[in-house]
Chain A
Amino acid sequence: RKEVEQDPGPFNVPEGATVAFNCTYSNSASQSFFWYRQDCRKEPKLLMSVYSSGNEDGRFTAQLNRASQYISLLIRDSKLSDSATYLCVVPGYTGFQKLVFGTGTRLLVSP
């Protein structure tokens, strides 16, 4: 099983829609999880950190399911500017310094 797995998408949704992405991880000892956003030809930027059961920031909600070993990212009321690739990131088996990036889920929000 890969350390981190994501559905690559793309997810095509209209403006105003609610969309959710899942990310599964294999290291059951992981204590922290991260969602990054990366626009085309730009650097990744931290979107949300998850250290317990979940986190919410405006239209964005991240939830952690330790039993099933997945984290989800929910985006409500999608905006055109939400179009990007969303990367799931978890610490690797060898420790905090070695972060493992998922392949990313591409989101396209259309008018």
Chain B
Amino acid sequence: DTEVTQTPKHLVMGMTNKKSLKCEQHMGHRAMYWYKQKAKKPPELMFVYSYEKLSINESVPSRFSPECPNSSLLNLHLHALQPEDSALYLCASSPQVGVHTGELFFGEGSRLTVL
């Protein structure tokens, strides 16, 4: 079982809805990430939090709003999404930023469908 927990596992929402994806890890990791993955494509980085501060935003549209309430939690707030935003949203964590940053622990993902 993965040590990064994501909820919900599946989410269907309309374009006018507001919803949130949640991610939790209790490994003491100080870096957390949101990735987006479309079918048959590799994960694409969206956001990186390092020590609870946003350090990378990969020019993600403002309809996606990340939040890191504490070192164990990462949220992704969704508002006014488009059908093309339908994808698997993966949360990941790593012990720290640095040469070992590539050792990511992924959650099982939240599969989002936007109608």
Q: Which residues of A contact B (CB under 8 A)?
A: 31-34, 36, 41-46, 49, 51, 87, 89-91, 96-99, 101-104
Contacts and interface: CB of A to CB of B under 8 A. Distances in A.
Given A43-B109, A103-B41, A97 B103 contact: no
Interface of B: 2, 31, 41-45, 48, 50, 55-56, 58, 88, 90, 97-109
B107 A43 contact: yes
A49 B106 contact: no
Contacts of A87: 42
23 contacts: A31-B99, A32-B102, A34-B103, A36-B104, A41-B88, A43-B90, A43-B106, A43-B109, A44-B43, A44-B90, A49-B100, A91-B101, A96-B98, A96-B102, A97-B55, A97-B56, A98-B56, A98-B58, A99-B102, A99-B104, A101-B43, A101-B44, A103-B42
B53 to A, nearest CB: 12
Contacts, number: 60
Q: Please classify the interface of chain B as helix (H, G, I), strand (E, B), loop, or mixed, using the class held by over half of its residues.
A: loop
B45 A98 contact: yes
Q: Looking at A34, A41, A51, A99, which has the most chain B CB atoms within 10 Å of its CB?
A: A99
Nearest to B98: A96
